[in-house]
Chains A and B, each alone.
Chain A
Amino acid sequence: DTGVSQDPRHKITKRGQNVTFRCDPISEHNRLYWYRQTLGQGPEFLTYFQNEAQLEKSRLLSDRFSAERPKGSFSTLEIQRTEQGDSAMYLCASSVHGGRDEQFFGPGTRLTVL
């Protein structure tokens, strides 16, 4: 069990550029979540997948944000036309459906938009 992995760990981009982040969940975890965290705040929910189906999306997820989990394994989060307000830590978590359904986080991707 290698834990949740995320790539890249850091991303610096200019305003208006598109960025894509990848998350690989713990193997056999069928639920995958994306959260965003800004300094001094707790993580805020963005979206969640069960297998390949996107089952819940936050109002925070504007039309510039899109997430996919095409084969029910890894997931990508894309932000189009980045804005300075998108600067944050983007966290991915995974869990197993049923049982205690505890969510385990990856190391995060820190995005800085200049």
Chain B
Amino acid sequence: QKEVEQNSGPLSVPEGAIASLNCTYSDRGSQSFFWYRQYSGKSPELIMSIYSNGDKEDGRFTAQLNKASQYVSLLIRDSQPSDSATYLCAVRLVSGAQKLVFGQGTRLTINP
């Protein structure tokens, strides 16, 4: 089992709809969770961090964390063509360890 798993997609969503991206992780002791957006040929850009169970909203983005189910998701409301990118889930697996473990990313395409 991979430490952090994402559906690689591609995920295709019509413009204006909600895009839902999912991520599961293996280490129940994980404390910190991050979503990065990566445009083709560019480096990852941090868009959300979440540390506690529940929802965290920032503009059109909502991160959801369920530690009991070892599941973290990202919702993008009112999807725009500019949201088309690969979304990377990253987890700091063990408290005190600093490295991030990334999923392979989900490629999202927003169709006008």
Contact = CB atoms under 8 A, between A and B. Distances in A.
Interface of A: 31, 33, 35, 40-45, 48, 50, 55-56, 58, 89, 91, 100-108
B104 interface: yes
B43 A105 contact: yes
B32 interface: yes
A103 B36 CA distance: 10
Range for the number of chain B residues in contact with chain A: 20 to 34
Given A40-B104, A42-B103, A31 B98 contact: yes
Nearest to B48: A102
Given A48-B98, A100-B51, A101-B98, A42 B105 contact: yes
Contacts of A89: 43
Contact of B98 (A33, A35, A44, A108): A33
5 contacts: A40-B8, A42-B104, A105-B46, A107-B43, A108-B43
Contact of B99 (A45, A104, A106): A45
A103 B100 contact: yes
B23 to A, nearest CB: 11
The 5 closest A-B pairs by CB, nearest first: A42-B102, A45-B99, A105-B43, A108-B43, A105-B44
